[in-house]
RNA sequence: GCGCUUGUAGCUCAGCGGAUAGAGUGCCCGGCUACGAACCGGUAGGUCGCAGGUUCAAAUCCUGCCAGGCGUGCCA
């Protein structure tokens, strides 16, 4: 249950009713706007507040405080979730939750358990999140790591927000990069066999190419020497591709990321779906031929220039294939919404993809993007570019060798996607208070130990308490914060900003630590002890539900 | 040049139309005979990049500048 939302809705109605009375009494003119009630930043100003007076000052030509006072005189809090309403400041009306609101929150969590925080929709929209989609030509990068966490967590959050979610990895196993891979492998293969071959300038220079060539020779010797260059490159690429895909799958699984499907680009080609899609674009009248190439009139859809679909050498561009892929997602498979998680270095794709979708006659708004900025690794205040151990650029698997999984997932997710992420390697492995992961997990472990002690004393964690005894400011504050989880999930889902949940959990842990510091549980009077125990249980549940969304553990002991 | 994006405390970042701009970290100070001190509390620290504009109200919206990042291939 979203108790914040329930309170806001009720408050809206109370305000509308009061306004109706004021209008019929001739005290206020008609045509007011009733702004949605907002959470007060400062508890001194109550829990929810209305800016009705301020918002209508211009229209009514009355001082805001007078408007607020008039409206306030007609607000009836009888049988509501609020205990008080008062006019304050320049013209605010501030409301305070009544006891039954707090009790409702705690009862809801006890009843909902693992489902607390979720929103249920009658007809869930089908959403695909496509993420990582790293090139299968080499190891995954730190950028892929951030994309992996953001995509996977967004998918989880969308599920919790009531969507039917599908996770997909688009595997670029065709096209130019595969032929570059073949060329690079061939050069390394021949070099390893003693031939003096120049390495292609546009080839993949990483040492992993040498390693693969060596591993091929170890497995099969020099049997490719008799083949044509083309066949040799193909054979080497086909040898490496599945190995690399398996390695990626393995690294991602280690990272807690799994996909419903790895969609191979080659399928789009082999099935003729790319041909068919390009034919459709032509039929829609948006293509033309020039310089032996086939062009899309993308300028008709807001792009600066037209784009090539089929190159003069007869091959499709990535763009043509991507349009087919998005048609497959939206039209063939019928997802209501598709979200592509892209690194900011690919942000140019967003307008191009939308243009392609629109040229197909589909609504481009069904395609959305989670753009994230790149990652800067830092250790001891210095930017880290290379792996200490290997001297090469740091890969996802290097990172996982060094950083605990929970820390990696938390750190990659803890910033708003559109800000550059500074990843502090030193901090991530630190088991202390300044590490936010441990701070959150410590709160959970602390609750677990305390509850174990209480149960030994015979305190039940299955019976309700007299929640009206929870009146200390740290108790009340904790409950208020617990109640916000469903709303936080909805906001994170709406903005594609999963870092809200990271911040929420840190805040929740803070509220719990404060409560723990100020309010003894074990030594309290039995009735109060019972109520506080149930508050701790509710906090534990909320921490668990939040951690599950982020894909991190909530340990019983640390 | 054009497009996207970011500029908030020493550092890393929240806040994105409402009441005195917040947190973590770092500096300094204080708190365990205790259900885990991996915790809590306090002091100090800010022309919210700059300049205009809209509004009862601007860090938040609009415009123009300045600075950083990214994009602008018959690469993907």
**pLDDT tens digits for A371-394?**
999 898 988 878 887 776 666 778
The confidence score (pLDDT) of residue A389 equals 63
In percent, the amount of chain A with pLDDT more than 90 equals 84
Identity of the highest mean pLDDT range in A245-249, A392-396, A460-464: A245-249
Mean pLDDT over A468-475 rounds to: 95
> Is the pLDDT confidence value at A98 over 80?
yes
Least trusted range by pLDDT, from A13-17, A346-350, A388-392, A433-437? A388-392
| Å: A214 CA to B19 C1' | 69
| Å: A52 CA to B5 C1' | 35
The confidence score (pLDDT) of residue A380 equals 80
Looking at every residue in chain A, the average pLDDT score rounds to 94
Closest nucleotide (C1' vs CA) to A55 is: B56
Least trusted range by pLDDT, from A47-56, A61-70, A185-194, A201-210? A201-210
Which three-class secondary structure state does DSSP give residue A236?
Answer: helix
| Å: A502 CA to B18 C1' | 26
E strand or H helix at A307, and its extent? strand A307-310
By C-alpha to C1' distance, B35 is nearest to A450
End-to-end Cα separation, chain A, in angstroms: 31
In percent, the amount of chain A with pLDDT more than 70 equals 99
Nearest Cα to A327, choosing from A409, A238, A263?
A: A263
The confidence score (pLDDT) of residue A390 equals 66
As ranges, strand B nucleotides with an atom below 7 A of a protein CB are 2-7, 12-16, 18-20, 23-26, 31, 35-41, 55-57, 69-76
Q: Are A183 and A233 in contact (CB under 8 A)?
A: yes
Closest nucleotide (C1' vs CA) to A44 is: B19
Least trusted range by pLDDT, from A64-73, A194-203, A387-396, A533-542? A387-396
The confidence score (pLDDT) of residue A180 equals 92
Work out the burial of residue A472: count CB atoms within 10 Å of its CB; fewer than 13 is exposed, 13-18 middle, 19 or more buried: middle
> Is the pLDDT confidence value at A69 over 70?
yes
| Å: A500 CA to B49 C1' | 26
pLDDT tens-digit readout, A335-352: 999 999 999 999 999 999
pLDDT tens-digit readout, A212-228: 999 999 999 999 999 99
This prediction's pTM: 0.95
Task: Give the pLDDT band (50/70/90) at residue A304.
Answer: confident
The confidence score (pLDDT) of residue A382 equals 82
Task: Give the pLDDT band (50/70/90) at residue A433.
Answer: low
- What distance in Å separates the CA atoms of residue A461 and residue A109, rounded to the nearest whole number? 13
Closest nucleotide (C1' vs CA) to A503 is: B14
Nearest Cα to A213, choosing from A236, A231, A229?
A: A236
The confidence score (pLDDT) of residue A388 equals 66
| Å: A433 CA to B45 C1' | 22
The confidence score (pLDDT) of residue A236 equals 96
Closest nucleotide (C1' vs CA) to A33 is: B56
| Å: A414 CA to B15 C1' | 16
Closest nucleotide (C1' vs CA) to A306 is: B74
The confidence score (pLDDT) of residue A330 equals 97
Mean pLDDT over A504-531 rounds to: 96
Q: Are A339 and A368 in contact (CB under 8 A)?
A: yes
> Is the pLDDT confidence value at A430 over 90?
no
By C-alpha to C1' distance, B11 is nearest to A381
């Amino acid at each position: 249950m979203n108790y914040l939302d329930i309170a806001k809705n009720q408050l809206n109605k109370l305000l509308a009713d009061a306004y109706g009375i004021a209008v019929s009494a001739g005290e206020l003119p008609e045509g007011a706007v009733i702004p949605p009630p907002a959470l007060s930043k400062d508890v001194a100003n109550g829990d929810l507040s209305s800016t009705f007076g301020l918002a209508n000052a211009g229209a009514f030509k009355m001082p805001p405080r007078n408007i607020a006072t008039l409206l306030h005189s007609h607000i009836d809090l009888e049988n509501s979730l609020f205990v008080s309403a008062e006019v304050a400041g320049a013209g605010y009306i501030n409301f305070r939750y009544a006891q039954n609101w707090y009790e409702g929150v705690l009862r809801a969590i006890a009843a909902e358990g693992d489902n607390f925080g979720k929103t249920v929709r009658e007809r869930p929209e089908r959403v695909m999140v496509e993420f990582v989609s790293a090139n299968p030509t080499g190891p995954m990068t730190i950028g892929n790591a951030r994309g992996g966490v953001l995509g996977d967590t967004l998918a989880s959050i969308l599920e919790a927000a009531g969507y039917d979610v599908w996770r997909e990895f688009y595997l670029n196993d065709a096209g130019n990069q595969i032929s570059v891979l073949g060329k690079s492998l061939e050069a390394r293969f021949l070099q390893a066999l003693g031939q003096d071959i120049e390495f292609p300038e546009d080839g993949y220079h990483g040492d992993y190419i040498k390693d693969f060539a060596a591993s091929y020779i170890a497995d099969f010797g020099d049997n490719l020497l008799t083949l044509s260059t083309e066949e040799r490159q193909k054979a080497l690429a086909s040898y490496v591709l599945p190995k690399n895909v398996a390695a990626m799958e393995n690294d991602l699984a280690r990272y807690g990321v799994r996909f419903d499907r790895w969609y191979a680009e080659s399928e789009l080609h082999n099935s003729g779906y790319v041909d068919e899609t390009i034919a459709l674009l032509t039929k829609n009248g948006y293509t033309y031929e020039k310089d032996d190439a086939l062009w899309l009139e993308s300028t008709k859809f807001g792009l600066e220039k037209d784009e090539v679909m089929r190159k003069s050498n007869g091959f499709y561009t990535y763009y043509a294939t991507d349009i087919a892929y998005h048609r497959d997602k939206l039209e063939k498979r019928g997802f209501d919404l598709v979200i592509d998680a892209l690194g900011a270095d690919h942000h140019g794709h967003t307008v191009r993809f939308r243009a392609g979708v629109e040229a197909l006659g589909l609504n481009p708004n069904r395609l959305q993007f989670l753009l994230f900025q790149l990652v800067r690794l830092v250790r001891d205040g210095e930017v880290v570019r290379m792996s200490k151990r290997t001297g090469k650029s740091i890969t996802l698997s290097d990172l996982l060798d060094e950083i605990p999984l929970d820390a990696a997932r938390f750190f990659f997710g803890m910033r708003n996607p559109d800000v550059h992420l500074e990843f502090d390697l030193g901090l991530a492995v630190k088991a202390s208070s300044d590490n936010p992961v441990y701070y959150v997990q410590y709160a959970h472990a602390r609750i677990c130990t305390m509850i174990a002690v209480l149960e030994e004393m015979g305190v039940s964690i299955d019976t309700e308490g007299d929640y009206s005894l929870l009146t200390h400011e740290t108790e009340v504050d904790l409950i208020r914060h617990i109640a916000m989880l469903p709303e936080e999930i909805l906001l994170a889902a709406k903005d594609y900003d999963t870092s809200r949940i990271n911040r929420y959990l840190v805040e929740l842990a803070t509220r719990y630590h404060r409560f723990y510091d100020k309010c003894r549980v074990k030594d309290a009077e039995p009735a109060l002890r019972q109520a506080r125990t149930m508050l701790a249980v509710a906090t534990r549940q909320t921490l668990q539900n939040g951690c599950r969304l982020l894909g991190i553990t909530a340990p019983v002991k640390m």
